[in-house]
Each structure stands twice: as C-alpha cells, then as structure tokens.
Chains A and B, each alone.
Chain A
C-alpha cells in the first residue's frame, strides 16, 4: 500500500525528452507554467494541450501514468470546479434554490480544471523523465548565481537529493516496523481517531530513532570520504547543453511568446 506512492518517481528511458539536459527541462517547465497562466481561450489552451501531448508522446510516458499523478489533488480539482461553477457572476443558464450556474462559470470552471491538470502533468513529465540526481544537479547549476547573495545552493541541492534518496528506505523501514508491531498484537485500523493516533506511536518512535541513526551514519560516511561542502567540488557528470537543448529552449520561448500574443488578441 505504501509502495504505491508515485511522487517523484522516475521512469528510465532513452527518448529525446530523457536525453535533454535537466536544466533545459526545468526551464521548459517554468516556461510552460508562465504560458499556461497566460492562456485564456480555446485556441491558447488548445496549443498548451498540444504541446503537453507532444512531449508526453515523445517521452513515451503512458497517459495513465500522468492521470495517476492526479489522484492526490483530486479534491482540489473538484473544489476549484465547484467554486468557479457557482460563484462566477454572469448570464444565468441554470438555477436551483440559491445555486446559480452561469455561462461564464462553466467556462472558467472548465479552464481552471484544465489548467490545474496541465500544471500537474507538466511537472510530472519532469520527474518522470529526469532522474532525481540529475534533477538536483540541474537545479543546483541553475540556482548557482544565487550563491553570490549568500544562498547555500549546493547544500540545499545536497539535502534534496539525500531526502529523495531516503524516501524508499523510509517506506521499507515503516513497513518492517509495522509488521513487527503487528506481530506483537498492535492494531492500526481500529478505534477512534485518538486510538489510531496512539497506535502510531510504536511506529513513529522506532522510525525517528532509526532515521537519526541513519543520518549520523551517513554524515560519518560522507566525512570519511572527505566531503566538505560545495567549495571546489567537481562532478562525475558535467552538465553540457547539446544542440537539442537550444532547440528545445527556443521552442519553449516561442510557445510563451505565441500564447501571450494570442491571448492579448483575445483569442
């Protein structure tokens, strides 16, 4: 059950999208989000959807994998749809008691839902096609100008990759501890909220303790291999832009400009 978490999952592959530099992909996601928030009509949303579908087809990510990513935010999507549906003023097309549905409401609700779904899909495209290591590498290089104003970029990136690395380990550990406590007669699915919260204690305490122990061991192991922060540190894999990256960034910029112009024209 815990193993089904897809958050930040990476599907290895060798497609044009997978081969793009992680920095390019991060930039593309940023461009895409900017364009998405500028889209306003059927034409612009259509262009945005087409761009997403092209990328998804190129990366050979199954649409079902993208839809699965929507599961955790389904409530937010529904709530957005309902609020927009009933609270947008305009021409009333359906009325029941105090609930009014307007033509504008239907339109905004539809576009808002589309926007949220595309927003989530494009970020999932990033994590599905980029391994966590190259993702943090890319982020670190992109953010490195911020070092000048004292932001510990390398340390942040390192923290991120360590956190990502330990998610599966923690899940495995949790399952093991749960089994062990169940073997001692613990029950996690009965009783009220307070009972359930109390039942978590035998899992959380050992989990915290082993996390601290693991952190300690990791720190010692890193120091033993002479890790001393980002200063003067070289990389195993240097990030280098390829011609494809320039083309992709060009396309991304083009998309933003096109969508902004079209929506200014009211399309």
Chain B
C-alpha cells in the first residue's frame, strides 16, 4: 500500500476551511505492523479514512497493490474488502440481532456463499476470542470489552490483507487492552496481514509495532523502525508526545550511573538489559 502526496482540506471554499492533512506520503509493506501516533488533531483519523476510500483526497493518491483506489467504483469496492478499517469505539456500530449475524454482515456484503460466510464468522470469532455460545446472543447483551471484540471480528471476517484500527484499546482496562492486542497479533501471525494501529499510547506502540509513523499537524514528522523513532526523544516531547515509560526509566537509571546499553523502549528490553548487567557483575 502506498500513499503519495495526500492532502485533505475540509469544507473547502467556506470560512470553516481547514487542512487536516498535508502532503502525506508513506508506504506500508505486506505483513508489517505499524503504529500511527500523534496527538489529538494531528490528522490520524482523516488519514486512515483515506486508506479505504471512505473519503477522497483533495490532492494525491492512495495506491493499493499498484492501483489507485479512488480511480473507479470497482476499485473502491475492492479496496474496502482488502483493507479493513475498525473505527474508534467500534461497538457503537453493532446492529444485528445476534453476534453471529453482525459478524456475517461484512462477508455477506462481499457476496460470499453461505458456507464461506459461516466459516469466516467462526474463524473471526476465534481470532478475537469470542466463545461459540456467545454467537447466538444479542450483541447488546455483551460486556463492553466483548462488544469491542465482536465489532473487530466483524471487520476481521472480511479477511482483509491490511487491517487498520483507530484507537482499538481506548476506554478498556489494562487486561482488556492486552487481550485485544494479543488477538490482533494472532490474526497478523496467522494470515500475514499488515496491521496499522492508530494509538495515543507510546507504550503500546513500542511493544507491538515494528515501525512507527509519527504525525504532527497533518504531516508525517517521523517515520521509521520503532527503535529509531524513539531515539528522537526530544522531538517527540516537543510534539506533545510522551516517551514510553520504559525509556523514561532507562534514562533515569543512566543518570544514576547504571551503564545501560542500546535503545530501550519496552519493559522487556529493559528487563533483559538489567539482567545482562547483573549477570555480568556476578560473573566478574
């Protein structure tokens, strides 16, 4: 997937005219897990709605497998099946009588056979950890976290090659956040689909994404492997973004004279490095 010089202006020609994103370009490769971060109003949500042709760019193009997704109606329809988009608080889009039928909505629109739909619903439910017995229950009887899972399953059931999620963990407790991320990673590993996760949380981004795209005022400020992006700590802070907790702890430890090596941005990396140092000392 390739984005070229994407610009979007809202309410063009009226006093309310605002440029949401300006000349954004990047490429997302097959099977990549990328995080889009940026503070409120940096244009993240506008950007991702372009990626499956929900809004048309004012300027620039979005290419998927080399084809301009806005070029024709067929392309737009095709891209919506291949690029799954999960909105913020997706649980508010549930509408069917049963969880099963809600998850089946996407595949049904794709025009699949009954048998295929059934298979996909069960598979999608499996990915997000919804038990079989819940499939015949009304989605409105589920708990908040389960609703969120059901809604995500509704998009996963379309078996997209690129799965885009806008703040999938917003408003969930830590256990719920971790659960959903684990579900998404299992989908990624099983199908090789690329994930693009929009998030506020640097900790989550650091933990799961191998690549980060940092948005600031409608432009891409930083783009690269996670470790590299976090080495620009100062710039991130300037953009109003927090550095991951693990990096903060590592920095503080360094100030106290602990000789930590390498770029540390997750708790796992921090733990390894500390164990390495301790191990080293015991050996010496």
A198-218 CB contact bits vs B (8 Å, 1 = yes)? Answer: 000110011001100000000
The CA of A208 and the CA of B65, in the complex, are separated in Å by 39
A169-190 CB contact bits vs B (8 Å, 1 = yes)? Answer: 0000000110111111111000
B109's nearest neighbour on chain A, judged by CB, is A185
> B122 in the interface, Cβ–Cβ < 8 Å?
no
Stretch at the interface among B86-94, B173-181, B210-218: B86-94
Q: A176-B87, A202-B105, A209-B140 are contacts. A183–B95 as well, Cβ < 8 Å?
A: no
Q: How far is the CB of A204 from chain B (nearest CB, A)?
A: 8
What is the number of contacts between chain A and chain B, taking CB atoms within 8 Å? 54
The CA of A205 and the CA of B90, in the complex, are separated in Å by 14
Chain B residues with CB below 8 A from A206, complex form: 92-95
B109 touches A187 (CB 8 A): yes
Give which listed residue, A183, A187, A205, A210, contacts B52 with CB less than 8 A.
A183
Q: A176-B87, A179-B87, A209-B140 are contacts. A184–B95 as well, Cβ < 8 Å?
A: no
Residues of A193-251 contacting chain B, CB below 8 A: 201-202, 205-206, 209-210
Chain B residues with CB below 8 A from A180, complex form: 85, 87, 90, 93
Q: How far is the CB of A44 from chain B (nearest CB, A)?
A: 38
> B155 in the interface, Cβ–Cβ < 8 Å?
yes
Q: How far is the CB of A170 from chain B (nearest CB, A)?
A: 13
A-B contact pairs, 20 of them (CB 8 A): A176-B92, A177-B93, A180-B85, A180-B87, A180-B90, A181-B93, A183-B54, A183-B80, A183-B85, A183-B87, A184-B106, A185-B81, A185-B105, A185-B109, A186-B109, A201-B95, A202-B93, A202-B105, A205-B96, A206-B92
Q: Which 10 A-B pairs have the closest CB atoms?
A: A185-B109, A205-B95, A184-B106, A180-B93, A183-B85, A180-B87, A202-B95, A179-B54, A206-B95, A206-B93
Q: Assuming A185-B81, A201-B95, A209-B92, what are 6 further A-B pairs, CB within 8 angstroms? A: A179-B49, A180-B85, A181-B105, A184-B154, A202-B105, A206-B95
